[in-house]
């Protein structure tokens, strides 16, 4: 997020882990303004079911902006059922080119249980190389922890929960109050 528009706003760690035929998306519940925790129970991971296809989305950034993007993504998925990559690319194109959407301050992790994408307002639709993706204030901590835990015997949910705990122990903008969604 731009510090000029949103001074002192921090929060959110979203992590996606693919392992053993499952994809787990976990998000913490903390929203902070500067050194103040404004809310510890925010729900930043959502399950969408456009056209009967389950899709899980985690978001970081402005909540109102993220909900605008979730609505747009859901419409894209309804017009291209079962085509997650196409819907994400179409959303990223609109996000980058549309005068209104271009100002939205958020990032998304999107999965249908097979594919995982990080979608940004810069027009990026990125697939993780190592079956792990993370965004938000504590994203780098969660990503590093999850990549290290992939060498363990933990299942996808175990890796996600352990990595989020590590991120919460390190990042002051991340808490241990998790929302977890599982596909697969």
pTM (2 decimals)? 0.92
pLDDT at 142: 98
Indicate the annotated binding residues: 168, 171, 174
Quick one: pLDDT at residue 79?
93
Determine which helix (DSSP H) or strand (DSSP E) holds 153, and give its type and residue range. Answer: none
Structure tokens at 79: 């017009």
pLDDT for the residue 3? 47
Q: From first to last of its 184 residues, what are the pLDDT tens digits of the chain?
A: 444 554 444 578 999 999 999 999 999 999 888 888 989 999 999 999 988 899 999 999 888 888 999 999 999 999 999 999 999 999 999 999 888 888 888 899 999 999 999 999 888 999 999 999 999 999 999 999 999 999 999 999 999 999 999 999 999 999 999 999 999 9
Q: Which residues are annotated as a binding site for Na(+)?
A: 168, 171, 174
Q: Which of 12, 49, 63, 120 is catalytic?
A: 12
The Cα-based distances of 94 to 39, 90, 116, 118, 149 in angstroms read 31, 6, 20, 15, 36
pLDDT of 51 reads 81
Write out the two tokens for 123.
């027009």
85-91 LR contacts (CB < 8 Å, sep 24+) = 85/115, 85/117, 85/125, 88/117, 88/119, 88/125, 89/125, 91/119
Instruction: Look at residue 57 in the predicted model and tell me its pLDDT.
Output: 98
pLDDT of residue 86: 97
The CATH fold assigned to 9-176+179-183 is: 3.60.20
Tell me the domain boundaries of the chain.
9-176+179-183
3-state SS, one letter per residue, for 8-51: CEEECEEEEEEECCEEEEEECCCEEECCEEEECCCCCEEEECHH
Q: What would the 3-class secondary structure string for 95-144 be?
A: HHHCCCHHHCCEEEEEECCCCEEEEECCCCEECCCCCEEEEECCHHHHHH
Within the chain, what is the greatest distance between any pair of CA atoms? 47
Catalytic site includes residue 12: yes
pLDDT of residue 12: 87
Please give the pLDDT value at position 184: 92
């Amino acid at each position: 997020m731009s510090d000029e528009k949103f001074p002192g706003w921090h929060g959110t760690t979203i992590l996606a882990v693919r392992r053993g035929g499952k994809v787990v998306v976990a998000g913490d519940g903390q929203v902070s303004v500067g050194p103040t925790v404004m809310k510890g129970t925010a729900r930043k991971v959502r399950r969408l079911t456009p056209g009967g296809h389950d899709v899980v989305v985690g978001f970081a950034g402005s909540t109102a902006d993220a909900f605008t993007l979730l609505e747009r993504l859901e419409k894209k998925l309804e017009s291209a059922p079962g085509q997650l990559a196409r819907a994400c690319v179409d959303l990223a194109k609109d996000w980058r080119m549309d005068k209104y959407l271009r100002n939205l301050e958020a990032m998304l992790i999107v999965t249908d249980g097979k594919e995982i994408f990080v979608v940004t307002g810069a027009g990026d639709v990125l697939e993780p190389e190592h079956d792990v993706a993370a965004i938000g204030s504590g994203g780098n901590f969660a990503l590093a922890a999850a990549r290290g835990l992939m060498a363990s015997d933990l299942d996808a949910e175990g890796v996600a929960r352990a990595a989020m705990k590590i991120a919460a122990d390190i990042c002051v903008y991340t808490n241990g109050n998790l929302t977890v969604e599982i596909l697969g």
